[in-house]
């Protein structure tokens, strides 16, 4: 470009290019991702986008955070104390009020179609960054639904490792008493011998990747790092701080895995689909209490250990809930506006981004779509937004579809 400019115009473009680079968003600081998914449609008016004094607010009161002038739900005092690390987006919006469709769109940036399954963020990170850990998987899903998109159209080596109950860790890793090390090795050799002719006849990547997957699994079983999945290694007091529920223990397990060089951990926390009696003790107060303990202590611990500076935490849901309380004393599906959070690696904490209208019904300023949210995550992780990856059918896809990074958040 410099040579062309000099010959055609007699000028150099390098100074201008340098200024453009300096002005670009500083992404790529995050090395790891903890992705917290609130399944069911988390209510924005009762968590991070309160409307004090408006009739739509309901029974939830606002409390101050560690950032002057910023208030969130009274049910989130621990998170409020850590708000200096958080960027709350109050202008998320989507086009669907369907749970399955909304979840898929949020996790992949693409609408669900019959012909293609799109990858979630963890496999995209592995695709662009390569494997980070030789024995542990790059992506772990904790309490994820069966319909999770997982590796999408990527080959099986990109498959996340699923953990159903974090309290039980990675199950079935201890061999039965009768299976000695030599016997196990013999069985693996037999499997390899059975498969050898097939692999030689069909020497293609799809076949080779299944062999690689078995190799990785056996390597994990013999790894000392396997104890990272065992929460029995953690003191009771520490486990109690996070809460003995699945989400609290899931966040604690996510922290341990991140400390052991796992690149991406997703923890799903369902139960936010509150059409009835939203303010009953077992509904919103209970759900937000679980979220507060887990997220607040996760932020606190990562900050104190120094890991928060290069660990990105994202919290989102598929849509919000209706501003008007329905006749069953609950809130219904509401895709027009909802809230999400980013914190940690590369994020400018202590800020509110975007704005919903005074009724909490729609976006008033700076709308952020699911693909924009994912583009911001990808930029924070240093992933290329424009680079195309082709599916087995030859169709091009990018990490965040048509999303644009929200530069003000980074």
DSSP three-state, residue 248: helix
DSSP three-state, residue 140: strand
Phi, psi for residue 34 in degrees, rounded to 5: -110, 115
pLDDT at 182: 87
pLDDT at 19: 34
CATH 3.40.190.10 fits 22-169+233-409, yes or no: no
pLDDT at 407: 97
pLDDT at 136: 85
Distances (CA, A) of 196 to 186, 200, 218, 348, 350: 15, 6, 18, 53, 57
The answer to whether the CB of 49 falls within 8 A of the CB of 37 is no
Taking phi first (over 0 means left), then psi (-120 to 50 degrees means alpha), and beta for anything else, what does residue 398 get?
beta
The answer to whether the CB of 125 falls within 8 A of the CB of 389 is no
pLDDT at 43: 98
The answer to whether the CB of 65 falls within 8 A of the CB of 343 is no
Distance CA 336, CA 369 (A): 10
From first to last of its 410 residues, what are the pLDDT tens digits of the chain? 444 444 444 444 344 333 333 344 456 899 999 999 999 999 999 999 999 999 999 999 999 999 999 999 999 999 999 999 999 999 999 999 999 999 999 999 999 999 999 999 999 999 999 988 878 889 999 999 999 999 999 998 899 999 999 999 888 777 787 888 888 888 888 988 888 888 888 887 777 777 777 777 777 776 777 889 999 999 999 999 999 999 999 999 999 999 999 999 999 999 999 999 999 999 999 999 999 999 999 999 999 999 999 999 999 999 999 999 999 999 999 999 999 999 999 999 999 999 999 999 999 999 999 999 999 999 999 999 999 999 999 999 999 999 999 999 99
Distance CA 21, CA 28 (A): 14
pLDDT at 26: 53
- Contacts of residue 252, defined as CB under 8 A and 6 or more positions apart, other chains included, come to 166, 231, 234, 238, 239, 242, 294, 298
Distance CA 5, CA 254 (A): 51
Strand partners, 311: 32
**pTM score > 0.85 for this model?**
yes
At CA 97, angle to CA 287 and CA 46, rounded to 5? 30
The answer to whether the CB of 50 falls within 8 A of the CB of 72 is yes
Distance CA 200, CA 329 (A): 64
Query: How many CB atoms within 10 Å of residue 180?
Result: 10
* HSE value, Cβ hemisphere, 13 Å, CA-based, for 316: 30
Distance CA 92, CA 96 (A): 12
């Amino acid at each position: 470009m410099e040579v062309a400019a000099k010959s055609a115009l007699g000028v150099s473009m390098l100074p201008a290019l340098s200024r453009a680079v300096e002005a670009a968003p500083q992404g790529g600081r995050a090395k790891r991702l903890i992705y917290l998914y609130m399944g069911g449609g988390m209510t924005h008016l009762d968590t991070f986008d309160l409307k004090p004094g408006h009739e739509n607010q309901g029974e939830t009161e606002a409390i101050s955070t560690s950032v002057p002038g910023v208030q969130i739900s009274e049910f989130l005092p621990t998170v409020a104390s850590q708000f200096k690390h958080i960027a709350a987006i109050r202008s998320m919006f989507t086009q669907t009020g369907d749970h399955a469709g909304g979840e898929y769109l949020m996790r992949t940036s693409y609408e669900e179609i019959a012909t293609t399954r799109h990858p979630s963020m963890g496999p995209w990170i592995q695709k662009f960054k390569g494997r980070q850990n030789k024995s542990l998987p790059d992506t772990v899903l904790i309490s994820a639904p069966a319909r999770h998109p997982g590796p999408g159209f990527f080959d099986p080596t990109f498959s996340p490792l699923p953990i159903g109950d974090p309290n039980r860790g990675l199950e079935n890793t201890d061999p039965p008493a009768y299976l000695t090390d030599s016997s196990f090795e013999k069985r693996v050799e037999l499997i390899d011998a059975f498969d050898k002719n097939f692999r030689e006849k069909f020497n293609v990547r799809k076949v080779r990747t299944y062999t690689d997957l078995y190799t990785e699994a056996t390597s994990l079983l013999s790894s000392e790092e396997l104890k990272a999945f065992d929460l029995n290694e953690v003191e009771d007091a520490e486990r109690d701080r996070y809460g003995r529920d699945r989400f609290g223990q899931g966040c604690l397990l996510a922290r341990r895995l991140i400390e052991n060089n796992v690149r991406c951990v997703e923890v799903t926390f369902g139960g936010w689909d509150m059409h009835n009696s939203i303010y009953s003790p077992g509904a919103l107060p209970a759900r937000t209490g679980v979220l507060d303990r887990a997220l607040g202590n996760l932020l606190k611990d990562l900050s104190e250990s120094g890991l928060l500076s290069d660990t990105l935490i994202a919290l989102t849901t598929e849509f919000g809930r209706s501003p008007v309380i329905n006749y069953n004393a609950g809130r219904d599906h509401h895709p027009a506006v909802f809230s999400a959070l980013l914190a940690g690696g590369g994020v400018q904490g202590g800020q509110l981004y975007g704005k919903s209208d005074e009724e909490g019904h729609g976006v008033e300023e700076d709308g952020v779509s699911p693909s924009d949210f994912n583009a911001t995550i990808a930029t924070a992780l240093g992933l290329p937004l424009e680079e195309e990856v082709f599916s087995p059918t030859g169709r091009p896809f990018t990490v965040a579809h048509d999303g644009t990074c929200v530069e003000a958040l980074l």
